[in-house]
Amino acid sequence: MKNYDIAVCGGGFAGISAALAAAREGKKVILFEKQYILGGLGTAGLVTIYLPLCDGFGHQVSFGIAEELFKLSITYGAEDRYPENWLDNIGTKTEADKRYEVQYNAQVFAILAEKLLLENGVDILYGSYVVDISTENNRITKLFVENKSGRNTFSVGAVVDATGDCDIAHFADAPTALFEQGNALAAWYYYTNPDGYHLQMVGVLEIPEERSGNKEKLLTNRRFTGIDGKELSEQVCLSHQSTLEHWLKKRETDKNAVISTIATIPQNRMTRKIVGEYELSDTEMHTYFEDSIGMVANWKKRGPVYEVPFRTLYNKEIKNLIVAGRCTSVNEALWDVMRVIPCCAVTGQAAGTAAAMTDDFSTLDVSKLQEKLRNNGVVIHEKDILK
Ligand SMILES: Cc1cc2nc3c(=O)[nH]c(=O)nc-3n(C[C@H](O)[C@H](O)[C@H](O)COP(=O)(O)OP(=O)(O)OC[C@H]3O[C@@H](n4cnc5c(N)ncnc54)[C@H](O)[C@@H]3O)c2cc1C
């Protein structure tokens, strides 16, 4: 049995941010990732648009590791949505030009993120599925992890659930909730043609009011929970078929188009989340929260800014468990906003920093957490944004 101060389960943007933040606080951190690549949906899932760090009216709202990873993702150049345009001609150009967002290269980002975590002393265990936990006195004491070596046991101080599906909270019998509407089928893929390398977004949940460029239709009326093994396999097969059909149709007009990459992770947006000590609602934009850990913007709409209460990241029934990313406690309407990459990085940084400070989250002095986050570049409250 191996011992770690902090276990981060899942290596998407939330897990990367949490592991980095915790390691920078000097803790012994292990990150378990079931794939052999970091980035989760943001790399293996081919979702490569780092949605905005700004409110759409020229004010940056997400900072710290959210901005660091944004910049890391374009170390060798952006693929589209060039961030240097974000302050130019606000309100007059295309949506992408109005927002501080970028399209990056998934593979380059994954390699750079891995290097960054290793340089900061994080132990990464790839191909490692956290399949169960054991608890004592309302604490997770052990994680059971399966990989090529078989079943391994890890003893841990604090646990960050960054699985995207709230797997660890579910194993620990912490209160969780499912996405009631279920996920629409998506089949995003990359193709090449003589003009270059292109992201093809097939299957869009809805057409956001300010994103009129999204013209894709639903691929099927079936909805997917994202937490059932058999259903996930069916979903992936349907997604592959949709990719093939889409590409064959494309070839009728673009005969040199070649599929270059398909997703290696199911493209689910919302699955399972923690029922936290607080549930942030879509109506709470511009609300001051004493225990805010940072801010996020609304990628669909210019204007709304949300402070994220620390209480959305844990339920005190399991003392040493904190969540980040897609598993954060928000209402059904806000989930589609909170799940995106910058929000995952914001909650990841807070969860990792908090895990380095305590193994009983409901007792943490949040002002001390805020102090650490501020020292690491995070702006906590909307009133502190320079306008
Ligand atoms: C079709 C689609 C389009 C999207 N479009 C955008 C977009 O344009 N821009 C944007 O910003 N966001 C977009 N999103 C949302 C965004 O990509 C994700 O919500 C975000 O990347 C989630 O990050 P995460 O770290 O919380 O979770 P994930 O990316 O899901 O990462 C979780 C990681 O944990 C691992 N894992 C899971 N369970 C276990 C376990 N038990 N043990 C070990 N490892 C485990 C997984 O392999 C994965 O790597 C889109 C999502 C979808 C599906």
In the 3-class helix/strand/coil scheme, how is the chain assigned residue by residue?
Answer: CEEEEEEEECCEHHHHHHHHHHHHCCCCEEEECCCCCCEHHHCCCCCCEECCCECCCCCECCCCHHHHHHHHHCCCCCCECCHHHCCCCCCCCCHHHHCCCEECCHHHHHHHHHHHHHHCCCEEECCCEEEEEEEECCEEEEEEEEECCEEEEEEEEEEEECCCCCHHHHHCCCCEEECCCCECCCCCEEEEECCEEEEECCCCCCCCCCCCCCCCCCCCCCCECCCCHHHHHHHHHHHHHHHHHHHHHHHHHCCCCEEEEECCCCCCCCCEEECCCCCECCCCCCCCCCCEEEEEECCCCCCCEEEEEHHHHCCCCCCCEEECHHHCCECHHHHHHHCCHHHHHHHHHHHHHHHCCCCCHHHCCHHHHHHHHHHCCCCCCHHHCCC
* Same domain flag for 166 and 225: no
* Same domain flag for 193 and 258: yes
Query: Tell me, what's the pLDDT at 229?
Result: 97
* Same domain flag for 308 and 333: yes
Query: Tell me, what's the pLDDT at 132?
Result: 98
Calculate the alpha carbon distances from 276 to 70, 311, 315, 328 in Å. 28, 6, 5, 8
* Same domain flag for 161 and 30: yes
Per the structure, the count of domains in the chain is 2
> How far, in Å, from the CA of 386 to the mean position of ligand 1?
31
CATH of the domain at 67: 3.50.50.60
Ligand 1 pocket residues where CB is under 6 Å = 9-15, 32-35, 40-42, 45, 47, 49-51, 129-130, 162-165, 167, 186, 188, 265, 267-269, 325-326, 339-341, 344
Query: Tell me, what's the pLDDT at 206?
Result: 47
The verdict on residue 284 lying in a domain is: yes
Ligand 1 atom closest to the CA of 183, numbered from 1 = 53
* Same domain flag for 126 and 147: yes
Atom 35 (ligand 1) nearest CA: 10
Last residue of a domain, one of 262, 291, 317: 262
> How far, in Å, from the CA of 263 to the mean position of ligand 1?
12
The verdict on residue 275 lying in a domain is: yes
* Same domain flag for 15 and 101: yes
Q: Domain span at residue 316?
A: 2-179+270-381
- Residue 344 corresponds to which amino acid? C
> How far, in Å, from the CA of 232 to the mean position of ligand 1?
14
The verdict on residue 229 lying in a domain is: yes
* Same domain flag for 238 and 117: no
The verdict on residue 386 lying in a domain is: no
Query: Tell me, what's the pLDDT at 83?
Result: 84
* Same domain flag for 80 and 129: yes
The verdict on residue 344 lying in a domain is: yes
* Same domain flag for 113 and 222: no
The verdict on residue 375 lying in a domain is: yes
Atom 12 (ligand 1) nearest CA: 340
Query: Tell me, what's the pLDDT at 387?
Result: 64
Pairing mode, if any, of strands 139-147 and 150-161? antiparallel
> How far, in Å, from the CA of 159 to the mean position of ligand 1?
18
Query: Tell me, what's the pLDDT at 96?
Result: 54
The verdict on residue 359 lying in a domain is: yes
What is the distance between the alpha carbons of residues 198 and 80, in angstroms, rounded to a whole number?
10
Mutating to test ligand 1, I would choose from 53, 62, 156, 163 the residue with most ligand atoms within 8 A of its C-beta, which is 163
* Same domain flag for 128 and 97: yes
Answer yes or no: are the C-beta atoms of 169 and 274 closer than 8 Å. yes
Q: Over the chain (387 residues), what is each successive 10-residue block's mean pLDDT? A: 95 99 98 98 97 92 98 94 75 64 96 98 98 98 98 97 98 97 94 95 64 62 95 98 96 97 97 98 98 96 95 98 98 96 99 98 98 98 88
> How far, in Å, from the CA of 195 to the mean position of ligand 1?
29
Query: Tell me, what's the pLDDT at 220?
Result: 87
Query: Tell me, what's the pLDDT at 211?
Result: 53
- From the list 75, 110, 45, the residue with the least C-alpha distance to 261 is 45
Query: Tell me, what's the pLDDT at 99?
Result: 87
The verdict on residue 184 lying in a domain is: no
pTM of the model: 0.96
* Same domain flag for 289 and 141: yes
Q: Which residue has the tokens 């943001």?
A: 42
Last residue of a domain, one of 262, 278, 296: 262
What is the distance between the alpha carbons of residues 262 and 303, in angstroms, rounded to a whole number?
34
* Same domain flag for 35 and 147: yes
Last residue of a domain, one of 239, 262, 285: 262
